[in-house]
A = this chain, B = another copy of it.
Amino acid sequence: MIETTIQNWHKYVRGDLPGGLDQLLHDDVVFYSPVVFTPQKGKAITSLYLQAAAGTLNEPSQEDPGVSDTAVGSSEQTGSFRYVSEVMSGNTAVLEFETTIDGKYVDGIDMITCDQDGKIIEFKVMVRPLQAVHAIHQAMQKMLEQLGS
């Protein structure tokens, strides 16, 4: 079940999923931030966080300094963000990623759980090391202020 959901997630990250997050997320999805304790509940706030995360994590790579497109759809092509491994079983997938934020190396996971219809009901992010959590904290605050204003 989770396999199809993850295929669609990768399509979304590439900008190839017509229905976007609205199609992927359950109405009652819960987002767990790597920084903040409080779970974020519902499709609207989770979409906001995932868009902020896409903008934050998708810092243009140093090999490609001319590209500054931070749109959701371009992270796998132009930014430093890349998925490096996947583990899936049952209704849960763990996608490991690497990226760079403010020059700081970030090693993290997206832990994604879907319901019986393949809709994402839980999206949890963890990152290491400590300096990566700090870098994400600062960058996410800026990005959420921009998206929310």
Q: How many copies does the complex hold?
A: 2
Give the size category of A's interface with B. Answer: 20 to 34
CB of A77 closer than 8 Å to a CB of B: no
Q: What does DSSP make chain A's interface, helix, strand, loop or mixed?
A: strand
List A75-101 residues whose CB lies under 8 Å from chain B.
85-90, 92-94, 96
Given contacts A87-B94, A94-B94, A129-B34, contact A109 B107 (CB under 8 A): no
Report A's interface with B, CB cutoff 8 A. 32-37, 85-90, 92-94, 96, 105, 107-109, 111, 124-131, 133-134, 137
- Known A33-B129, A34-B129, A127-B128; further 17 A-B contacts with Cβ < 8 A: A34-B128, A35-B128, A36-B129, A36-B130, A37-B129, A85-B92, A87-B89, A87-B93, A88-B89, A94-B94, A107-B124, A109-B111, A126-B126, A126-B127, A126-B128, A130-B133, A130-B137
